Amino acid sequence: MPKEITFTAARLVRDVPAAEIRIDDALIAVSSLMASVVTARRDTDGVPATRGHATIQRLVKAQMALVDVSGDILRVHGDLVDIGRETGGYDLHECPATAEGDATPLASAA
């Protein structure tokens, strides 16, 4: 296998899971923000429920966008695995569980 394919494959093995993790992190952050906004609206005296409704709708829209992005990246991941099998002759049974580097596995985050 040519070196450029080996380097490209190694970069993808690192970058695809890293993107998946970052999207999940963004979804968690938006979800936490949603909880904070709803809690603040509920716990602040004198604020009518209608006051924060548009903000909450925007957060829901952002969450759904991230869920859509996550699904697209998962499909890209599957496509790249198929391309790797076809082009590189890889016999891939599993993708890396997590990206190397600054990613923190969920088990250690709890």
Is residue 104 a part of any domain in this protein? Answer: no
Averaged pLDDT score across all residues of the chain: 83
Q: CA separation (Å) from 2 to 15, 82, 83?
A: 20, 19, 16
pLDDT per position as a tens digit, 49-67: 788 899 999 999 999 999 9
Q: Is residue 105 part of a domain?
A: no
Angle between helices 3-43 and 53-88 (to 10 degrees): 160
Q: What is the mean pLDDT of residues 17-36?
A: 97
Burial (CB < 10 A; 0-12, 13-18, 19+), residue 80, is middle
Q: Domain of 56?
A: 3-97
Number of structural domains in the chain: 1
Give pLDDT, residue 110: 39
> Residue 79 pLDDT > 50, yes or no?
yes
109 occurs within a structural domain:
no
Cβ-based burial of 95 (10 A; exposed 0-12, middle 13-18, buried ≥19): middle
pLDDT for 27 equals: 97
- pLDDT reading at 109 higher than 70: no
Q: Which of 31, 32, 30, 56 is nearest to 42 (CA)?
A: 56
| Nearest-angstrom CA–CA distance, 3 and 31 | 42
